[in-house]
Structure 1
Amino acid sequence: MTHFGRRAFTATAAGALAGLTVAGEALAGEIRAGRAPGRGGGAACREFRGMWLATVTNRDWPSRTGLTAAQQRAELIAHLDTAVARRLNAVVLQVRPTADALWPSPHEPWSQYLTGTQGRNPGWDPLGTAVREAHARGLELHAWFNPYRVAMHTDPSRLVADHPARLHPEWIVPYGGKLYYNPGLPEVRAFVQDAMLDAVRRYPVDAVHFDDYFYPYPVAGQTFDDAAAFARYGGGFADRAAWRRDNTDRLIREISGRIKTVRPGTAFGISPFGVWRNKATDPEGSDTRAGVQTYDDLHADTRKWVREGWIDQIIPQVYWNIGFAAADYAKLVPWWSETVRGTGVDLYIGEALYKAGDPAQPAPWQDPAELSRHLTLAGEYPEVRGHCYFSAKEVGTDRNGAMARVVADHYPTRVRPPR
Structure 2
Amino acid sequence: MKRSPLLLPSLLSVLMSTAAAAPLRGLWVDAFGSGFKNETEIKKLVQDARTLGLNALFAQVVRRADCYCLKSTFPVTEDINVPKGFDPLEVLIREAHSAGLQVHAWVIVHAMTSSEVALPRNPLHPINAHGLDEFADTWLTFNNAGEALVSKDYYFDLAHPGVVKFFADGLRSLAQNYALDGIMLDRIRYPDPVKISAPIWGYNPYSLSRYFRETGATRIPLPQDRKWMDWRRDQVSLLVKHLYLEVKNAKPSIWFSAATITYGPPPKTQEGFKTTRTYAEVLQNWPQWLKEGFLELNVMMNYKRQSKAPQDQWYAGWVDFAAKQAGVNASGIAWYLNDFAGIQAQTQKAVNTHMGWAGYSYRFPNLGNYTSNPTVTTEYEALKNLLPSGEAFDGAPLPSTSLKGQLKGKEVSGIAVELWKSGKLLARTVTDATGYFGFTQLPVGSVELRVLKVRKTLNVQERRVNDAGVY
TM band (smaller chain): 0.7 to 0.9
Among 222, 233, 240, the residue aligned to 1:245: 233
Structure scoring higher RCO (CA < 8 A, sep ≥ 6) equals 1
Among 300, 316, 329, the residue aligned to 1:316: 300
1:398–1:87 distance in 2 versus 1, CA, 3 Å: farther
Among 215, 218, 230, the residue aligned to 2:193: 218
Among 337, 341, 346, the residue aligned to 2:328: 346
Between the two proteins, what is the percent identity of the paired residues? 20
Q: Which residue of 1 aligns with 2:88?
A: 126
| Superposed displacement of residue 199, structure 1 | 1.2
1:254–1:276 distance in 2 versus 1, CA, 3 Å: farther
Instruction: Trace 1:378-389 onto structure 2 (pairs within 5 A).
Output: 378-382=350-354, 384=355, 386-389=356-359
Q: How many residues align?
A: 345
User: Secondary structure of 1:61's match?
Assistant: coil
Q: 1:54 & 1:181 partners in 2: Cα distance?
A: 20
Q: 1:299 & 1:342 partners in 2: Cα distance?
A: 18
Q: Which residue of 2 aligns with 1:209?
A: 184
1:286–1:334 distance in 2 versus 1, CA, 3 Å: farther
Aligned residues of 1:276 and 1:295 also touching (Cα < 8 A): no
Q: 1:347 & 1:189 partners in 2: Cα distance?
A: 26
1:296–1:126 distance in 2 versus 1, CA, 3 Å: same
Deviations 1:238-294 (A, max 9, x none): 52211111110011111111111100110111111223875599961499xxxx822
| Superposed displacement of residue 179, structure 1 | 1.6
| Superposed displacement of residue 159, structure 1 | 4.6
Q: Which residue of 1 aligns with 2:337?
A: 355
| Counterpart code for 1:414 | G
Q: Which residue of 1 aligns with 2:285?
A: 301
| Counterpart code for 1:47 | P
1:376–1:100 distance in 2 versus 1, CA, 3 Å: same
Among 44, 48, 53, the residue aligned to 1:82: 48
In terms of fraction of residues, the more strand-rich structure is 2
1:304–1:156 distance in 2 versus 1, CA, 3 Å: farther
Q: Which residue of 2 aligns with 1:59?
A: 33
Q: 1:352 & 1:277 partners in 2: Cα distance?
A: 17
Q: Please, what is the CA RMSD of the aligned residues? A: 3.3
In terms of fraction of residues, the more helix-rich structure is 1
Aligned residues of 2:274 and 2:280 also touching (Cα < 8 A): no
| Counterpart code for 2:249 | T
Q: 2:59 & 2:393 partners in 1: Cα distance?
A: 16
Q: Which residue of 2 aligns with 1:47?
A: 23
Among 135, 139, 145, the residue aligned to 1:171: 139
Aligned residues of 2:42 and 2:95 also touching (Cα < 8 A): no
| Counterpart code for 2:189 | F
Greater Cα radius of gyration, structure 1 or 2: 2
TM-score normalised per structure 2:
0.65
Aligned residues of 2:139 and 2:204 also touching (Cα < 8 A): no
1:187–1:276 distance in 2 versus 1, CA, 3 Å: farther
Aligned residues of 2:299 and 2:330 also touching (Cα < 8 A): yes
Q: 1:277 & 1:186 partners in 2: Cα distance?
A: 34
1:339–1:286 distance in 2 versus 1, CA, 3 Å: farther
1:369–1:277 distance in 2 versus 1, CA, 3 Å: closer
1:222–1:131 distance in 2 versus 1, CA, 3 Å: same
**Could you list the runs of 5+ residues in structure 2 that have no partner in the other structure?**
1-14, 142-147, 218-225, 366-375, 396-471
1:332–1:171 distance in 2 versus 1, CA, 3 Å: same
1:405–1:322 distance in 2 versus 1, CA, 3 Å: farther
**Could you list the runs of 5+ residues in structure 1 that have no partner in the other structure?**
1-37, 63-68, 357-364
Aligned residues of 2:176 and 2:250 also touching (Cα < 8 A): yes
Instruction: Trace 1:167-206 onto structure 2 (pairs within 5 A).
Output: 167-168=129-130, 169=134, 170-173=138-141, 174-176=148-150, 177-206=152-181
